[in-house]
Chains A and B, each alone.
Chain A
Amino acid sequence: KAGVTQTPRYLIKTRGQQVTLSCSPISGHRSVSWYQQTPGQGLQFLFEYFSETQRNKGNFPGRFSGRQFSNSRSEMNVSTLELGDSALYLCASSRDRNTIYFGEGSWLTVV
């Protein structure tokens, strides 16, 4: 059974640009959540989607957004990138919301 797949794995963007990250959940999992991981702040919850609806949201500015498609695949978007957005962005999927399984992450560097 394939795990959570995230693309791209690595990317470099310039301040002010925008970025879109993609996540394909484990087959049969309808919940997708996103986390940001940085050395200073650790793991922080961004948002969760279920059946194409945002079900929960963390404390991030509106520049961070996401969506989920009918096949449960999800994308997150960060607009007007700042240096502080450099991080590992992790996607996780869940069948029952209680136990989440992570992908390998997308490493974003903002220069």
Chain B
Amino acid sequence: AQSVTQPDIHITVSEGASLELRCNYSYGATPYLFWYVQSPGQGLQLLLKYFSGDTLVQGIKGFEAEFKRSQSSFNLRKPSVHWSDAAEYFCAVASPGDSNYQLIWGAGTKLIIKP
């Protein structure tokens, strides 16, 4: 069965500093990979996705993620965080072509920005 691990429940970063949020997955082949962000009291917004091709994916709001097959990872990065990036970030995976296609979610990482 697929699974997703986000090892960090909380991360605190100073405004202007770089950010990396970790995501590891368990899946036999190359899954579809996603990062979503959820601001307090809001729904989830898609930041970026990986289906195939270039393993470095650019997303919205200056975020990028890199798919590393050898490490089963899809870490999210941003070179310089802004106070408005404080939110909860979710990594998700899905099995392409699965008749029971659904997103399997990590537990989320809450990002706290220090002024």
When distances are taken between beta carbons in the complex, the residues of chain A under 8 Å from B32 are 98
**Cα–Cα, bound, A42→B88 (Å):** 12
- What is the minimal beta-carbon distance from A77 to any residue of chain B, in angstroms? 20
Pairwise interchain contact A48-B102, C-beta atoms closer than 8 A: yes
- A45 on interface, CB distance cutoff 8 Å: yes
A98-B105 in contact (CB<8A): no
Q: B10: shortest Cβ distance to chain A, in Å?
A: 14
Name the B residues within 8 Å of A100 (CB-CB). Answer: 46, 103
Interface residue count on the B side (C-beta < 8 Å): 22
Of residues 73 through 111 on chain A, the ones whose CB sits less than 8 Å from some CB of chain B are 90, 92, 97-105, 107
Residue of B nearest to A3 (CB): B43
Report the bound CA distance from A4 to B51 in whole Å.
23
Tell me, yes or no, whether A24 is within 8 Å of chain B by CB: no
A56 within 8 A of B: yes
> Is B107 in contact with A33, judged by CB distance below 8 angstroms?
no
Contact B102 A90 (CB under 8 A): no
Separation of A99 and B96 alpha carbons in the complex (Å):
11
Bound: A58/B104 CA distance, A: 11
Q: Does B11 contact A (CB under 8 A)?
A: no
A45 to B7, CA, bound (A): 21
Are A104 and B51 neighbours in the complex by a CB distance under 8 Å? no
The interface of chain A, by Cβ under 8 A from chain B, is 4, 6, 33, 42-43, 45, 48, 56, 58, 90, 92, 97-105, 107
User: Can you list 28 A-B pairs, Cβ within 8 angstroms, ordered by A?
Assistant: A6-B43, A42-B105, A45-B103, A48-B101, A48-B102, A56-B99, A56-B100, A56-B102, A58-B102, A90-B43, A97-B101, A98-B51, A98-B96, A98-B101, A99-B34, A99-B46, A99-B49, A100-B46, A100-B103, A102-B36, A102-B43, A102-B44, A102-B45, A103-B43, A104-B42, A104-B43, A105-B43, A107-B41
